[in-house]
Amino acid sequence: MKVSKSPWMLHYDGSSCNGCDIEVLACTMPRYDVERFGVINTGNPKHADILLITGGINAQNKPVVEQIYSQMPQPKVVVAVGICACNGGVFKDCYNILGGVDTVLPVDIYVPGCAAKPEAIIDGVIQAVALLDEKRKSVREDKKEAGQ
């Protein structure tokens, strides 16, 4: 059975303008319903497989994002939603913005758009889900190598 059959998602709002957040929540509503793919919007990093971040990274939320990521059990993937999360977007030159999510975390999937469309977000999540299986495999291989 594949890990990707049951991706539980943790949504973190960085310094987003809330536009992308509304689109993320729209994905869980009847019109788009990501639960079709088994996605659960959990609030607990220890239960999550996918970390979905909207908005850029600023000086204040940098340690928060790092801690959330470190609390998630392996295998895990990071999805950056919206152009702010990809590289800082319109807020890029603000004094407090450090940049996109990839300034602190290894981002696996970038979902561009301002705001990102629900279709694009779902597409990103599905690609992230495929990555989960690959990561699961490599975690296993690492373990095997460590065992030998």
Partner 1 sequence: MSWILAIGFLVLAPLLGGLLEGADRVLCARMQGRQGPPLLQPFYDMFKLIQKQSVVVNNVQDVLVCGFLIFVVFAGLLFFWGGDILLVFFALTLAEIFFIMSSCSANSPYSSMGAQRELLQNMAYEPMILLTAIGFYLAANTFNVNEIAVASVPAIVYLPGIFIGYVFILVIKFRKSPFDLSTSHHAHQEMVRGLTTELSGNVLAIVSLAEWYENILLISILGLFFLNGTLWSVLAAVLGCGIAYFVVVLADNVFPRVKWDAMIKSTWIVTLVAGGINLMIMELLTR
Min separation Cβ 31 and partner 1, Å: 9
Q: In terms of CB distance, is 115 or 129 closer to ligand SF4? A: 115
Min separation Cβ 139 and partner 1, Å: 8
Phi, psi torsion values for 124, nearest 5 degrees: -60, -45
Sign of CA dihedral 128, 134, 140, 143: negative
Q: Which does 16 bind (CB under 5 to 8 A by kind): partner 1, ligand SF4, none?
A: ligand SF4
Which stretches of the chain bind partner 1, using CB under 8 A?
A: 1, 3, 5-6, 29-30, 33, 35-38, 40-44, 46-47, 49, 71, 73-75, 136, 139
Q: In terms of CB distance, is 19 or 45 closer to ligand SF4? A: 19
Amino acid residing at 57: I
Q: What is the dihedral of CA 84, 86, 88, 90, to 10 degrees?
A: -50
Which stretches of the chain bind ligand SF4, using CB under 6 A?
A: 16-17, 19-20, 54-55, 82-84, 89-90, 114-115
Q: Which does 3 bind (CB under 5 to 8 A by kind): ligand SF4, partner 1, none?
A: partner 1
Min separation Cβ 23 and ligand SF4, Å: 8
Min separation Cβ 144 and ligand SF4, Å: 41
What's the length of the chain?
A: 148
